[in-house]
Amino acid sequence: MKNYEKANWQVFTKHFGMKNPQIMDNEQRVEVLPSRTGDPTARIVTPDETKVFLHSSIDPKREAYRLAASTAVKSDSILVVYGFGLGYLVEALLETTPQSVPLVVVEPDNVLFSTALKVRDLRDMLINERIHWIITENIEDVKSYFYDIFEVAKYGGIEYIGLPGQQRVYEEYFRKLPKMIKDVVSLKFTNLATLVKLGAEQIINALENLPEYIEKPGFSSLYDRFKNIPVIIVSAGPSLDKNIHLLHEAKGRAVIMAVGTAAKALRKHGVVPDFIITVDPLHWNYELFRGLETEKYCLIADIQAHRQIIEHHRGQLFMSNCASPIVEWFADAMEDKGRTVTGGSVANDAMTAAYKMGANPIVLIGQDLSFSAEGRTHASGTNYEKRVHIEQGERSFSVKANDGGQVLTDRVYYHFLRFFEDWFRLFPDRTYINATEGGAYIEGTQVMTLREVMDRYCLDPVDVTAAINAAQREYVQPDKPAIIAQIDQRLQETKRLIKASEKAIIQLRKLAVACENAQAKEMNKHLATVRKIYDEFQTYEHIVPAAERFIHQEIHSVLHRTYRANQASSDDYRDAIADYILYYGKMKSAAIKLKELILAAKRRIVKGEGGKAHVSV
């Protein structure tokens, strides 16, 4: 049998920048045998010594085409292929499915994949742009790979097909795969909705908070300040009513960190948290802080948090950053302020903050991630204490509860839950305790009551104030002239972006006229100018990402229509030109707004207003 290994790996290495991996497993479990047609077929020897054919032992190509022909795939779908085997099924699908359909090949067996590259010439397949390769034995890795592949605007659905033999051999892996992919798709849609809803507010607040971000110490100043000290994360789920009264006893013997939604419930019970963490840029978030005695607690605020929360805060303040594009403007001129990690919920940020602060154990209370038996969504004393969940079809479903039964949750809460579980799996070096005393079970946690936690872990005094004061004293402000120089560069970029957008709109309108009159020479001239402007946009690596946050809905709509038109091969030039006129018009408006915000931030930075107290409301 001819060996194609060297030729295949040369192509694979050149195309993907990857080397032939060192296979440590026993390759004897993969048997390659000739079929009756002479084409190689593969047989797997399972751990229990069962031998399973992945392809037909008679005619593997015919089998693959028969399976491929039985699959009806829409042109806007993405097709997930369970297992590559020796490649016959993927080969057939490339011929029988629409050219617009990408194939995501998920192969859990490195040994099998390497074997395929030895016995078949797969060079054309390896460089085919329709194929996305996910070759990993770790099912959890599929999530991050598929996240990069799937685009909400581009794909209307997901279809599945696979080799029956391989699904039998890797039954557990392929059983989990659809759920894993469903989680990714759901997360993508949630992220899109978040960007559409919050995009502009994130940028506006980040620029308005920039003076404080510069002049106040970063959250990174708290890293490892509370090593091996218990931190209790207080969220606002309905089960908080069961144990909030015990937090009096934990004060001074653990760090109490609350999310903003829980702040008023704590105030009602006379509990002052050591930290409150805030991230959300919308005005409703500020409403959670109205009336609080802000001088009594330390605030960890993301740069994008609602402006008035930071403006009216009287106590100690640490600034953080959860990947705001504004912060990237100052990478060389400012220290890394540190960032929390979010799964969409500020409780996720709080937990990761506790982790980075060195906490152990990390204790969750009020983290229901579900609805109470009465449908309540939040604890008493919160802004949402009267809110009741109304079940809506597929949006609500049951998950395992902390008490071993079932509780009702929804897609949003489930995303938050999955974030916790993924984090606990990736960072198992801490003890994670769910002392919520109700709600959904979170895999990776120990389930305990808060009383049990306090009796076991909250025994020694903890001087939270001393640690905060030390972090504040040690902070050194950055060089303002260097920051202002960066701001001036961004201002120049906004001005250029405004002019380029105006020019693009003029050229697109001229292009429309040339198309109407079938003036090929004029069409090419205006198209060339528009392409040049588009290329120029790519050089504005700081301003364009910020400007696009203002118009994410429009960008999504343009991309969605363009993808649909490409799949139908009938893109009307009028629609396409109208799309891009809309895009450049919105970009111009966004750049003008950015310019105003940057100028206002610069004035406050020059005056040194970021560290001043403000009049309370």
Domain boundaries, given as residue ranges, for the chain: 5-189, 209-473, 480-611
Instruction: Return all residues near 518 (Cβ < 8 A) that are at least 6 apart.
Output: none
User: What pLDDT, on the 0 to 100 scale, is given for residue 568?
Assistant: 57
Contact 347, 259 (CB under 8 A): yes
Q: Percent of the chain scored above 90 by pLDDT? A: 53
Closest CA to 543 of 496, 506, 511, 510: 496
**373 or 472: which leads in pLDDT:** 472
Q: Percent of the chain scored above 70 by pLDDT? A: 90
User: What pLDDT, on the 0 to 100 scale, is given for residue 193?
Assistant: 62
Q: Is the torsion defined by CA of 294, 295, 296, 297 positive or negative?
A: positive
User: What pLDDT, on the 0 to 100 scale, is given for residue 214?
Assistant: 92
Contact 207, 173 (CB under 8 A): no
**Rounded to whole angstroms, how far apart are CA atoms 408 and 410?**
7
Query: Stretch 39-57: mean pLDDT, rounded?
Result: 87
3-state secondary structure 558-578: HHHHHHHHHHHCCCCHHHHHH
Beta bridge partners of 275: 257, 298
Average pLDDT of the residues of the chain: 87
Query: Stretch 222-237: mean pLDDT, rounded?
Result: 97
**329 or 427: which leads in pLDDT:** 427
**Rounded to whole angstroms, how far apart are CA atoms 291 and 59?**
76
User: What pLDDT, on the 0 to 100 scale, is given for residue 283?
Assistant: 87
At 480-521, the pLDDT tens digits run 898 999 999 999 999 999 999 999 899 889 988 988 888 888
Contact 543, 594 (CB under 8 A): yes
Supply φ then ψ for residue 463, to 5 degrees. -95, 85
Contact 60, 66 (CB under 8 A): no
**Rounded to whole angstroms, how far apart are CA atoms 267 and 276?**
12
**1 or 123: which leads in pLDDT:** 123
The beta strand positions in 359-456, using DSSP E, are: 362-365, 396-400, 406-410, 432-434, 446-447
197 pLDDT more than 70: no
72 pLDDT more than 90: no
User: What pLDDT, on the 0 to 100 scale, is given for residue 27?
Assistant: 52
At 436-482, the pLDDT tens digits run 999 999 999 999 999 999 999 999 999 999 999 999 999 988 888 98
559 pLDDT more than 70: no
User: What pLDDT, on the 0 to 100 scale, is given for residue 151?
Assistant: 77
**388 or 563: which leads in pLDDT:** 388
562 pLDDT more than 90: no
- Whole-angstrom CA distances from 388 to 375, 384, 413 are 5, 9, 15
Any idea which architecture 5-189 has in CATH? Answer: 3-Layer(aba) Sandwich (3.40)
User: What pLDDT, on the 0 to 100 scale, is given for residue 569?
Assistant: 53
User: What pLDDT, on the 0 to 100 scale, is given for residue 533?
Assistant: 87
Instruction: Give burial (CB, 10 Å; 0-12/13-18/19+) of 157.
Output: exposed
pLDDT band of residue 242 (cuts 50, 70, 90) is very high
Query: Stretch 154-175: mean pLDDT, rounded?
Result: 84
pLDDT band of residue 26 (cuts 50, 70, 90) is very low
Sheet hosting strand 255-259, strand order edge to edge: 317-320, 298-302, 275-278, 255-259, 231-234, 362-365, 432-434, 446-447
User: What pLDDT, on the 0 to 100 scale, is given for residue 33?
Assistant: 92
Closest CA to 243 of 453, 439, 442, 437: 437
Contact 430, 360 (CB under 8 A): yes
At 106-151, the pLDDT tens digits run 999 888 998 999 999 999 999 999 999 998 888 888 888 887 888 7
At 543-558, the pLDDT tens digits run 988 888 887 666 666 6
155 pLDDT more than 80: no
The one-character DSSP state at 401 is B
User: What pLDDT, on the 0 to 100 scale, is given for residue 1?
Assistant: 67
- Most confident region among 52-61, 112-121, 254-263, 279-288 by mean pLDDT: 254-263
**Rounded to whole angstroms, how far apart are CA atoms 298 and 317?**
6
Closest CA to 205 of 463, 550, 510: 550
- Of the given ranges (99-103, 153-157, 467-471), which has the lowest mean pLDDT? 153-157
Cα dihedral 561/563/564/567 (nearest 10): 160
**527 or 409: which leads in pLDDT:** 409
Instruction: Give burial (CB, 10 Å; 0-12/13-18/19+) of 421.
Output: middle
pLDDT band of residue 174 (cuts 50, 70, 90) is confident
**Rounded to whole angstroms, how far apart are CA atoms 269 and 271?**
6
Q: Is the torsion defined by CA of 131, 43, 37, 163 positive or negative?
A: negative
- Whole-angstrom CA distances from 162 to 57, 88, 165, 232, 617 are 17, 11, 9, 46, 62
Which tokens is 429 given?
A: 């070096």
Tokens 């020796």 sit at which residue? 86
